[in-house]
Structure 1
Amino acid sequence: MATQVPGSGTGFNPTVFYGSIGLIAALLSLALVNHEDAEAAFGAIQRFATVNFGWFLILTVNLLLFTCAYIAISRYGTVRLGGKGAKPEFTRPAWFAMLFSAGMGIGLLFYGVAEPVMHFSNPPLSQFSTPNVDTTRQLASNAQHAMGLTYLHWGLHAWAIYVIIALGLGYVAFNRGKTLSIGSFLSELWPAMPKIAIDLVDILAIVATVCGVATSLGFGASQINAGLTFLFGTGDTLTAKMVIIAFVTSLATLSVALGLTKGIKLLSQANMALAIGLALFLLIAGPTVFLLDSFIQNLGYYAQRFIYLSTWTESYTGGKWQIDWTIFYYAWWISWSPFVGIFIARISYGRTIREFILGTLLVPVLFTFLWMTIFGDSALYIELFGEGGIAKAAADSLPNALFAFLQHYPLTSLLSGAAVIIVATFFVTSADSGALVVAMIASGGDHEAGFIPRVTWAIAMGVLAAGLLFVGGLSALQTAAIVTGLPFAIVLLIMAAGTVRLIHRDLYPEGEG
């Protein structure tokens, strides 16, 4: 029997629901009415945000990671989410599976091969790599730096964003009996805060979540379409991507209608089993010893260069590489954070804060690093010592890189089919988890949001993903993530400081300590 989680919401919040639906519909309608102007506007907005505020995103993410480390090693880490007698609702394996499926999902397959080979073939200007120098030593250095950058984008910084928001929301909901929403956190931190201001923050959270998840769904549709084209010659067309989005969104709608335990939990576990099976096959069938060596060396490189990589801003080289990679990733993770944070908080009742932070930071990160090593270093091995060609495929089309890579393995068609299925299940887990969380926000933090809101938001995410692909393709998806992620970074900084303040206030009610 599942543990009864406290802090249930008060029901439907019309201001948040209709406000967020209206804003998303208005933005999408405006884009669809004037296709060409919308595409140009998306590009201009993305350039303005990334060029002028990239430094702010890098600083924000570093501060969030520092806050996580501080809370974990301090006395605050002994506090249990839900109080001393709280028991976890899910086993650790189920918890880790849901954490991982919600937190990274589609991007692991979309970027697992493409990102390392793109960094290798087109490295940024830095002290650790030199573009266009074709010597054995420099190629090896570029390959190592490519994996270090990949670890940076998918490592501790990304998960620190999720940890901060999840911890703040979970603490207020489970230890203070409030609803599981950002508005509840802010009202707890500042009781005199006007309700309209709280509702506006929740609207921003919903819009950020919908845009962030829609970005992933668009990537997933492009990846599935590339796989079907590789297997059956269906063709890389916008119509095919729309059909894919419609089909998989219907599966996500069914899953979210079944709820957290019957739908999302079971699908996440099946998804993890498929993903691990594919990774293990590639590890065994590929250059196994090279991959194991690379995993250890990559970890060492990431640790040694951690501060440099974390604070590098291209200031002295004047490059624009980070705009397309690091800045986009940080904004994408931040736009995902309301969804992933609330979802992680929802499934983490009963964990101590230290267990929660270490479990959410270290376990998914190590698995992600191993995944990126298996896929990324296998591709780099082919580029360095084999026939090559994967970097060119990635440059031509990011979604095609994975299937160009799988051509170098036996059972290519079977592996490619498995990859398509895994992307589809990641698609579903992202959409149904996101829909559940958005429904919770729009329902005043209700943990068991109603059937109609859950289904409504699942469909809305699919529609937005399709609309953004139609308007400007992957560029429009990236812009949506960046534009919504940037303002929400301010909310995350407030939550980081506010969480420490609330826990301290409860541990030391008389001001001691």
Structure 2
Amino acid sequence: MNIPQNTKIRTTLKKGITIPSLIFIIGICMISAIFPKLTNGLLTVVKSFIFVNLNWVYIWAVTIFVIFLVYIMISSYGNIRLGRNDSKPEYSFFSWLSMLFAAGMGIGLMYFSVAEPMQHYSNEIFAYKSPVQRVQNAQLYTFFHWGIHAWAIYGVVGLALAYFSYRYRLPLSLRSCFYPLLKDKIKGKWGNVIDIFALCSTFFGITTTLGFGVVQINSGLVTLNILPETSFIYQVLIVSILVSLAIFSAVSGLDKGVKILSNINIIAVIVLLLFVLVLGPTVYLIGSFTEGIGTYINSFFSLTFNTHVYEENTQTWFYDWTILYWAWWISWSPYVGLFIARISKGRTIREFVAAVLILPTLFNFIWMSVFGNSAIWLDINVADGFLSSMAKDPDGLMFQFLEYLPFTKLVSFLVIGIIIIFFVTSADSGIFVMNSIATKNSRVSPRWQTIGWGVLLAVLALMLLNAGGLAALQSMTLITALPFSVIMLLFIVSLTKALMIDKNYYEKDFSSATVPWSGEHWKERLRQMASFNDQASTEKYIETTVKQAFEELVNEFAVNGIEAKINSNESPQKIEIEIRYDVINNFIYGVKSESKILSDYLLNEENLPGSEENIIYFPKSYFGDTREGYDVKLFTKNELISDVLKHYERFIEIISEEKNTLFISSDSNHRFR
């Protein structure tokens, strides 16, 4: 039998990213599983120190994210498309929103929709408030934690990734978001470090969330008497089945697996929502939702900047809820942001930001109002405090809540089905994202890689579940949020710089030299365009062409009874024509030698004129009223005279209007320096 000599396993994994990431991921998980109490204790100390002493970093970072996205959405930058100017969205609006929503919140909505409002309502630190105030308080803080601030975190990462990937045609990778700042350095070690951080953060976030999801599914199946108990054996079975489905979905691709499951799930979620709304305290829910929106809007800024520094009794709650949530959303943002970016090609920035900030937020508010307020209403009016006594058991609280509604068993099955689909969509999109990071966004990867990520996710999640190490891993995830919040602020700097360049590029008009040009001497003009000027040739142009034009103008002005003079300077080389006035500002038109740095691309491009240095010089016009000038190197003498007269005509027209007195009168006229 002939055995092939080159039996090499095909892979698209990049060693510089994958190997360090796997070493760190497996190492942390092993330590958390072998020494769960010790590891969790140490990480909890670090986390507590950050939350207590550096909570202001999270507050300011998240606030900046919100302000930045709102500004980008309403500004002219919002018209920029995530892709070529003629690109179209790959997915329908409904499918896009379904996938965005499933990846962004998913299991958390099912896990906390009843538990969080109930925990705020029953928390002892709010015992001094009246029952009505506690209900309003519970809804307000739930809105705050699941609203615009959370989605702004995802939106910043998603927007930066989508913009640089589809607009700049860079890899769909976090390293690409630093291109305006690091340029080609993103291809080296710095880029690898950024991607390693993103891969580890994504893995830890998904592992802990899926671990909690498995526990809730197990609890629901026990409530329905399908399983006898919540034990590790049954959790292994649940994880094996669900991760297998996730792997199958991931292998099928976004267009099939994730898209189909997300569409099914959003429909199921709406059905469940309408069921609780119609068969619950409907009028109360609609009224409380309406009032809750108003309270949220009125309290938006005070909530945003509140650090509870003057309320010592609520500071612990603040660290355990608001700061923990901001850290949690930030730690999840590499994964969610990358996935959102992957499905958002072709959308405009305004469409992207509006959809990411407003639509999921509005749905979250409706969802949390219907489930949270229903549970509190039932607790007060029907359950006699039983549900609030269960507040510290979020795994089973949703199913206990459903006991007070009709068709309990049927609806519980629907809830478990939704959690399962959320589990699968979170896992398969997570597998896709991790493989994308590890391969630098390779379009086609062998199936064994996708399967491998799924198996690793399942094995490590089960290992931590069994050993009680999930809490330690969660603390580790929250700690990584601090440095990543700083990285996200740099994303904003980088994105702002890129958007300014982008807008200037597409709005840049023809050169001012084309305005007076009739097409004469076109060969000479082409020769000038195809060469880069050095300092000597620029100074020669000023000394000859510009000076001759100004001298002819001075003579002709004198013929028409206008006194004009020429001012000049040799270092730096510049010359100007000036007409003096006593009451109003002088008219000045000058030309000076300016320099600019050529891009490396231009220097290395064979089909463009060459330049030995990366600095070129050009003659630039300037004016007495400090307006921005322009390159005049292509102007002939007569064209330059025409340009001066054009500006002089503008000057005469302006000074003839009384309304411009404030701008044209001056006690200190410009003097040549």
Q: TM-score, normalised by structure 2?
A: 0.71
Distance 1:428 1:504, change over 3 A: same
* Cα contact 2:32–2:472 (8 A) shared by 1: no
User: Is the 1:35–1:471 contact (alpha carbons within 8 Å) kept by the matching residues of 2?
Assistant: yes
1:199 counterpart = 2:195: no
Of 34-43 and 400-409, the range deviating more from structure 2: 34-43
**Corresponding residue number in structure 2 for 1:33:** 34
Please report how far the alpha carbon of residue 451 of structure 1 lies from its aligned counterpart in structure 2 after TM superposition. Answer: 2.4
1:389 matched to 2:381? The reply is no
Structure-2 residue corresponding to 1:96 = 97
Task: Note the C-alpha offset of 1:463.
Answer: 2.8
How has the CA–CA distance of structure 1 residues 245 and 280 changed in structure 2, closer, same or farther, with 3 Å as cutoff? Answer: same
Q: Are 1:49 and 1:482, in contact at CA under 8 Å, matched by a contact in 2? A: no
State the Cα RMSD in Å: 2.0
One-letter code aligned to 1:224: I
What is the Cα deviation at residue 223 of structure 1? 0.8
Query: 1:392 corresponds to which letter in structure 2?
Result: S
Distance 1:243 1:487, change over 3 A: farther
User: Which of these residues, 224, 228, 232, is aligned with residue 217 of structure 2?
Assistant: 224
Which structure would you say has the larger RCO, counting Cα contacts within 8 Å and 6 or more residues apart?
1
Native 8 Å contact 2:84 2:167 kept in 1: yes
> Could you give the per-residue CA deviations for residues 202-222 of structure 1, whole angstroms, max 9, x where no partner exists?
000011111111121012111
CA shift in 2, pair 1:151/1:457, >3 Å: same
Q: 1:447 & 1:282 partners in 2: Cα distance? A: 42
Match of residue 425 from structure 1: 421
In structure 2, C-alpha distance between the alignment counterparts of 1:351 and 1:448, rounded to whole Å: 24
Distance in 2, Cα, partners of 1:317 & 1:472: 34
Give per-residue Cα distances to partners, 1:21-40, cap 9 Å, x unaligned: 11101111122233332232
Q: 1:163 aligns with which of 155, 159, 162?
A: 155
- Which has the higher mean CA deviation after the structures are superposed, 209-218 or 28-37? 28-37
TM-aligned CA distance change 1:132 to 1:464, over 3 Å:
farther
1:291 aligns with 2:285: yes
Task: Give TM-score scaled by structure 1 length.
Answer: 0.92
What does 1:4-403 correspond to in 2, within 5 Å? 11-122=12-123, 124=125, 130-132=126-128, 138-191=130-183, 193=185, 195-232=188-225, 234-318=228-312, 319-387=315-383, 388-395=385-392, 397-403=393-399
Distance in 2 between the 1:478 and 1:285 partners?
Answer: 37
Q: Unpaired segments of 5 or more residues in structure 1?
A: 1-9, 125-129
CA apart distance, 1:346:
0.9
1:189-233: per-residue Cα shift (whole Å, max 9, x none)?
Answer: 311536111101100001111111112101211110110111115
Residue type at the aligned position of 2:38? D
| 1: CA distance, partners of 2:292 / 2:73 | 25
User: Which stretch shifts more, 112-121 or 235-244?
Assistant: 235-244
**1:295-344 alpha-carbon deviations (Å, 9 max, x no partner):** 11111111011111112222122221122211221111111111111111
Tell whether 2:446 aligns with 1:465.
no
Match status 1:494 vs 2:490: yes
Greater helix content: 1
- For 1:324 and 1:450, the matched residues in 2 are separated by 42
**8 A contact 1:51–1:323 mirrored in 2:** yes
Number of the residue aligned with 1:437: 433
Contact 2:174/2:194 (CA < 8 Å) preserved in 1? yes
CA distance in 2, matches of 1:304, 1:458: 45
| Number of residue equivalences | 494
Q: Deviations over 1:348-377 (max 9, x none)?
A: 111110011001111111111111111111
What's the offset of the Cα at 1:117?
Answer: 0.6
**Unaligned stretches of 5+ in structure 2?**
1-10, 509-595, 597-627, 629-673
Summarize the Cα distance change of 1:491–1:321 in structure 2 as closer, same or farther, 3 Å threshold.
Answer: same
2-side partners of 1:363 and 1:326: how far apart? 22
AA at the equivalent of 1:241: Q
> Take 1:72 and 1:433, find their aligned partners in 2: how far apart are those partners?
27
Give the percent of matched residue pairs that are identical in Structure 1 and Structure 2: 38
Q: Which residue of 2 aligns with 1:7?
A: none
Q: 1:379 to 1:60 in 2, by over 3 A?
A: same
Post-superposition CA distance 1:24-70 (Å, at most 9, x none) = 01111122233332232333233233223222112111111111011
- Tell me whether 439-448 or 455-464 shows the greater mean CA deviation: 455-464
Structure of larger gyration radius: 2
Post-superposition offset of 1:449: 4.4
Q: Distance between the aligned counterparts of 1:18 and 1:243, measured in 2?
A: 30
What's the CA shift for 1:475? Answer: 3.0
1:145-188 CA-to-partner distances (Å, cap 9, x unmatched) read 11110011110011101111111111111111111101122234
- How far apart in 2 are the matches of 1:378 and 1:454? 41
Alignment match of 1:416 (pick from 412, 416, 431): 412
Q: Which residue of 2 aligns with 1:3?
A: none
Q: Displacement, 1:461?
A: 2.5
Q: Is the 8 A contact 1:227 1:403 kept in 2?
A: yes
Quote the offset at 1:448 in angstroms: 4.5
| Distance of aligned partners of 1:310 and 1:238 in 2 relative to their CA distance in 1, 3 Å threshold | farther
